[in-house]
Structure 1
Amino acid sequence: MEEGVVANWRIALGDKVKRGQVIAEIETDKATMEFESFDSGYVLLLVAEEGETLPLGAPIAVLGKKGEDPQEALAAFGGGSGGGEAAAPAPAPEAAADAAASAAADAQAVAESAPAAAPSAPASVEAVHVDPKDRRIPASPVARRLAREHDLELAAITGTGPHGRVVKADVEKAIAEGTGKAAAAPAAGEFSGEVDGWGRPYVSRPDDSVRLSMMRKAIARNMTKAKQETPHYYLTMDVDMEKAFAFRADFNEAVPEGTKISFNDLIVKAVARSLRDFPSVNASFDGDKAIIRGDVNVGIAVAVEDGLVVPVVRYADQKSLEAISRESKALGKSARDKHLRPEDMSGGTFTVSNLGMFGIESFAAVINPGEAGILAVGAIESRPVVQGGELVIRKRMKMTISADHRVTDGAVAAKWLTKVRGYLENPLKMLTDGPG
């Protein structure tokens, strides 16, 4: 993680904050985390706006005693925006007193325990509305206000602050040069100048630039790294799911509502048991050696609004189907609610990615860095197959392993895939073949 977004403030100017109190929600690459205060005191200044992206170590608020000047705290911290703009003047004493009227005295300024890093620290107590299209553009509050006042688009201004942040000087330069205006988009239905064979005009439609979320940027970075550094190879196998269908129906009929299992739970269990049988697939590449992982921790790819997260079911080879089902449901809900903790997404040794619910017949997935493989699972379909010399309709499913050729070869991965198929075609073996 190199930067974060202040997704939501839980405090306001003048509030009294206790040590350990949740004061904000911070959006990271994969989740939205609650941020607790390290100190107590009055809220003298909210440095960061909701939706603003800031680098690690940047100040987001100033706490202190009643009547203290927040600008002095910022100056002690490092001061300034890092982009050459001067700090805004401190609020008038009357305004500061009014803002803190409801809070009690006796607190310690946050500046005394602030980290040594001193990135940008814009100074403004003005509560302002942030246009949704500008929310993820890094900019100081002063720069945002100036841009709004002059009807400029932050996206059209080149930032010279830390990490490309737009600062006051950048906006002033755009004002002076008459730049910073968004390009005029073609009006809806504007004639493109071309017609089809019947003389009907083609309509020109404008492009739309969408700024990547932090999660999307993390996915782009990690997947690029995986494809550039990991030599993938792919093996696909067809699985007869008739017995799995019958097993699941019987199982769910016999257990309480909260412990019913899905086909993905069966797949996770089959994958976990097979990884225990083939340790070389439960591995990772580390320079001049392969690390054979002792634990079997299966990641489950979960689609969320901004992209994809992979919460991990730990010790999946040792857990029952009911336990895997309960844990998978809880992790999936946390993922969709953006409440996953870092520990929920770390320590995976292999991943399952299932797109069967979207009707995908088969696909090949990209290996998560630090793992030796990922299993891509397609839809379970009724298909005609030849069995015993006759054409019959059976429920079938395709699965594809993407494997790291640095730590495992095709023959081993093929045997592993055959083991997974064996468990799915005879589900009772997962419950009777050894412990777990």
Structure 2
Amino acid sequence: MAAEVIMPRLSDTMEEGRIIKWLKKVGDPVKEGELLLEVETDKADIEVEAFDTGILIEITAEEGETIKVGEKIGLIGSKEEAKGIRKPAAPAEEAHPAKPERPPRAEKAEEEEKPEESAAVEEILEEEAKAEAPEKEKAKRATEEEKRKREEEQRRKKEERKEEERYRREEEERRKEYAEEARRRAEELKEKPRRPEPAVSIHMDQRTAIDKFVARRAPGKATVSPLARELAQKHDIDLSQITGTGPGGEIVKRDIEQAVSAKAKAGPAAKIEVLRKAREVRATPLAVVLAEREGVDLEEVRGTGIDGRIRETDVKAYVARRCNERGEEFQELSLMRKTIARRMTLSKQTIPHFYLNMTIDMDAAVELRKKLNEGKKDEEKISYNDLIVKASALALEEVPEVNSTFVEEKVRVNKRINVGIATATPDGLVVPVIMDANRKSAADIAREARDKAERARKRKLRPDEYSNATFTVSNLGMFGIDHFTAIIDPGQSAILAVGALAQEPVVVDGQVRPKNLMRVTLSCDHRVVDGYVGTQFLIKLRELLEKPETLHAKS
């Protein structure tokens, strides 16, 4: 039975992948473990191996398509299952057309008489066939394109007709409703003539406070009866738009009732107005609605519909051109950018962050780095970030709560200390991971970090090289950033943001001295890490960096 080839999950954050290139064609034999295709993930470009042996009998996702994880992209089957398939046609330059059949005797005679001439003719025929092949292929593609356009145009016309018919039916129904409503109201007026409202009676032989009967109001502001105000709030009526018909211009119940009735009719009336405008400017109703929403004058829009009719797509194209004229441009998100957006939003929505800041004296670390890098080539030197990664790993040994993860009402304590290093690439942020960083020397970390950073920028990391981090270091100090706060990657409980190392004047024993200072900020998940625990981690980190003799050794 044929086995499906599915889009594999190549990282813990991957939700979809884009097919870069198929390394096998339909009809090619495939062995288990053999490279089958290249896939672009949110982190890297990865070669995918086949999980089955057989014949590639179907490719359901072409190069350039983006497919969800777990969805089918191809099919591998047996030789029997592959019998009915056709291999893709060979490129035109490699194609060899079949030779015209001729009677064997005539062929033999020709070969005996003029073998050189026969060979020349065959060569000419082959050359002509090669020259004609691209033209035939081009004509075939043009025919298919014309057919597709015709089908698309027919489908579009059908949709437009359906849309117009729907609006016509709605317009007719609304007109019937209006006529029925008018008839009903006329009948009510005949049956129930309006009675005048009773006047307020004031007895002249008693002293009565006039405020009981006349509502005070600010100049230019109408008063509102309590019942009218309650009714207006219930139906979301803007009182500033209502003209009162009560005593002294007061807004009374009947004014609100009339406003509610008018509001109810506004929806159908608006649709009728849309249809009227659509007929006037030869546009579809959807195009009219979109134009009003975007503030577009339909007189400036060129229609591509039947007889130049303006469609919704025409208005959208006009808006896009207008944006371009304003210097705006809309770009599709890469898979990496989509993943960053999704995970950072998830982090801020689900992880209660709090932040701890600390300033560290880096004088001793500066001297140690100079000593370790003496006589070394640039590509072999240890950076300050390598020392910070090593110090962070040792601090996590002392404060394991920071190396933990909140998982479904439980806390998972990670036994391995895997430190991710945030790395900028042209497509976005990638976090290569130094596995078991606490057991490696600063020199080992430097070599591994440099290699993985270079391959990350080329999208050549393997999934295991950017997965399973338990803690992350994000360093923007080399760009002159003094201090910042970082967002915790979901699945971790903390991230260390490292600022620039700079000389600053510090008072020591009553004297001002220059010191190499560095500011760090620890972002913590408050579900796992409390303020005291986070502080203990930073204190240990500071101790290790201010007395860094142990950082260059393996644990």
Question: 318-327 vs 285-294, which deviates more?
Answer: 285-294
Greater helix share, structure number: 2
Choose which of 66, 76, 80 in structure 2 pairs with 1:53.
Answer: 66
- Structure 2 stretches of 5 or more lacking a match? 1-13, 96-136, 139-143, 154-303
CA distance in 1, matches of 2:60, 2:530: 54
Greater strand share, structure number: 1
- Tell me, yes or no, if structure 1 residue 333 matches structure 2 residue 346: no
Choose which of 481, 484, 498 in structure 2 pairs with 1:363.
Answer: 484
- Tell me, yes or no, if structure 1 residue 309 matches structure 2 residue 430: yes
Name the residue aligned to 1:184: 318
Displacement of 1:186 after TM fit? Answer: 7.8
Give the fraction of aligned pairs with identical amino acids, expressed as a percent: 43
Determine helix, strand or coil for the equivalent of 2:523. strand
Determine helix, strand or coil for the equivalent of 1:371. coil
CA contact (8 A) 2:404 2:528 kept: yes
1:316 to 1:69, Cα distance in 2 relative to 1, 3 A: same
CA contact (8 A) 1:364 1:402 kept: yes
CA distance in 1, matches of 2:90, 2:378: 55
CA distance in 1, matches of 2:488, 2:150: 44
CA contact (8 A) 1:44 1:96 kept: no
Residue identity in the other structure for 2:34? Q
CA contact (8 A) 1:298 1:316 kept: yes
What pairs up with 1:97-176 in 2 under 5 angstroms? 98=90, 146=148
Residue identity in the other structure for 2:344? M
CA contact (8 A) 2:26 2:58 kept: yes
Cα deviation per residue 1:50-74 (whole Å; 9 max; x = unaligned)? 321122344434667698444xxxx
Count of matched residue positions in the alignment of Structure 1 and Structure 2: 338
Determine helix, strand or coil for the equivalent of 1:351. strand
CA distance in 2, matches of 1:56, 1:289: 28
Determine helix, strand or coil for the equivalent of 2:438. coil
TM-score using structure 1 length: 0.67
CA contact (8 A) 1:150 1:175 kept: no
CA distance in 2, matches of 1:302, 1:344: 13
Determine helix, strand or coil for the equivalent of 1:246. helix
Residue identity in the other structure for 1:2? E
- Structure 1 stretches of 5 or more lacking a match? 71-92, 103-125, 128-141, 152-173, 191-203
Greater Cα radius of gyration, structure 1 or 2: 2
Choose which of 23, 36, 53 in structure 2 pairs with 1:10.
Answer: 23
CA distance in 2, matches of 1:97, 1:403: 59
1:69 to 1:265, Cα distance in 2 relative to 1, 3 A: same
- Tell me, yes or no, if structure 1 residue 296 matches structure 2 residue 417: yes
Displacement of 1:342 after TM fit? Answer: 2.0
Displacement of 1:364 after TM fit? Answer: 0.4
Determine helix, strand or coil for the equivalent of 1:60. strand
Residue identity in the other structure for 1:183? A
Displacement of 1:260 after TM fit? Answer: 2.3
1:398 to 1:42, Cα distance in 2 relative to 1, 3 A: same
Name the residue aligned to 2:42: 29
Cα deviation per residue 1:283-313 (whole Å; 9 max; x = unaligned)? 1113333222222111111112221122211
Residue identity in the other structure for 1:371? Q
- Tell me, yes or no, if structure 1 residue 423 matches structure 2 residue 544: yes
Determine helix, strand or coil for the equivalent of 1:362. coil
Residue identity in the other structure for 1:56? V
1:303 to 1:427, Cα distance in 2 relative to 1, 3 A: same
CA contact (8 A) 1:29 1:215 kept: yes
CA contact (8 A) 2:323 2:329 kept: no
CA distance in 2, matches of 1:60, 1:45: 8
Question: 265-274 vs 222-231, which deviates more?
Answer: 222-231
Name the residue aligned to 2:371: 250
CA distance in 2, matches of 1:147, 1:233: 57
1:218 to 1:428, Cα distance in 2 relative to 1, 3 A: same
- Tell me, yes or no, if structure 1 residue 395 matches structure 2 residue 516: yes
Determine helix, strand or coil for the equivalent of 1:385. strand
Displacement of 1:431 after TM fit? Answer: 5.2
Name the residue aligned to 2:356: 235
1:265 to 1:178, Cα distance in 2 relative to 1, 3 A: same
Cα deviation per residue 1:212-236 (whole Å; 9 max; x = unaligned)? 1111111111111111111111011
CA distance in 2, matches of 1:358, 1:52: 37
Name the residue aligned to 2:5: none
CA distance in 1, matches of 2:52, 2:367: 58
CA contact (8 A) 1:186 1:205 kept: no
1:19 to 1:175, Cα distance in 2 relative to 1, 3 A: farther
Question: 384-393 vs 368-377, which deviates more?
Answer: 384-393
Determine helix, strand or coil for the equivalent of 1:265. helix
